[in-house]
Amino acid sequence: MTAEEKAWRPRLVLASASPRRLELLQQVGIEPDALLPTDLDETPGKNELPRSLAARLAQEKARAAAKVAAVTPELAKGYIIGADTVVSVGRRILPRCEVVAEAAQCLRLLSGRSHRVHTGVCLITPKGHERRKLVETRLRFKRLSSSEIEAYLGSGEWRGKAGGYAIQGLAGSFALKLVGSYSSVVGLPLYETVSLLAGEGYPAHLFWLNRV
């Protein structure tokens, strides 16, 4: 990207430190100007549904990043994207696993059954308007043997992942069926995100012409 292109292109902020979300945006030719992760309490509210939690956290992340961007001269009046992914079995929300016992419990629960992945996306425009999307994807895992669960736990790939797995990694071999958006399960629904940006005037496709 040339200096001239950077000078006029509107700023874009991703309210996340997730390398997966950054890679997904880069996959479709979008390079954020800054990453502004937020430190939010992601505990579900009493009786809060999985889809409501995903939508709420995406909005809260975007709003928190927008406050920081507003007082940062090079980011003010930019576009802000926040996203959050929630894995659930029925109304039960699965944790973002940090210890092996949590991941083991999630894998045993998901083994041989269907579950849902909800990803909320919130876009805040330079004029302060909010646009939101919620994407629900259904997955079914094969029945996992004890050795498969132990091997996956040993890989460490589950760490920090909602539901204790990463579909884009080794756990891709567990998925028997997926109905919905694969990129949403990874962390950011690309169709919906690009549509939100383009619909609000961000030149989402401009730099495709310069790709080799």
The answer to whether 96 and 54 have CB atoms below 8 angstroms apart is no
pLDDT of residue 210: 64
Q: How many domains are contained in the chain?
A: 1
Q: What range defines the domain where residue 143 resides?
A: 3-210
Find where tokens 């204790």 sit.
Answer: 164
39 flagged as catalytic: no
Residue range 126-180, pLDDT digits in tens? 999 999 999 999 999 999 999 999 999 999 999 999 999 999 999 999 999 999 9
Distance between CA 202 and CA 49 in Å, rounded? Answer: 32
Phi and psi angles of residue 84, each rounded to the nearest 5 degrees, phi first = -150, 145
Q: Check: CB of residue 107 under 8 Å from CB of residue 144.
A: yes
Catalytic choice (33, 39, 41, 84): 84
pLDDT at site 42:
87
pLDDT above 70 for 3: no
Asked if residue 132 lies in contact with residue 121, where contact means CB atoms within 8 angstroms, the answer is yes
Q: State percent of the chain over pLDDT 90.
A: 86
pLDDT for 85 equals: 97
Across 190-210, average pLDDT: 90
48/43 Cα distance (integer angstroms): 10
Indicate the average pLDDT of the chain: 93
Q: Is the pLDDT of residue 118 over 60?
A: yes
Q: At 128, which CATH number?
A: 3.90.950.10
Answer for the pair 190, 145: CB distance below 8 angstroms, yes or no.
no
| Residues 21 and 14: beta-carbon distance below 8 Å | yes
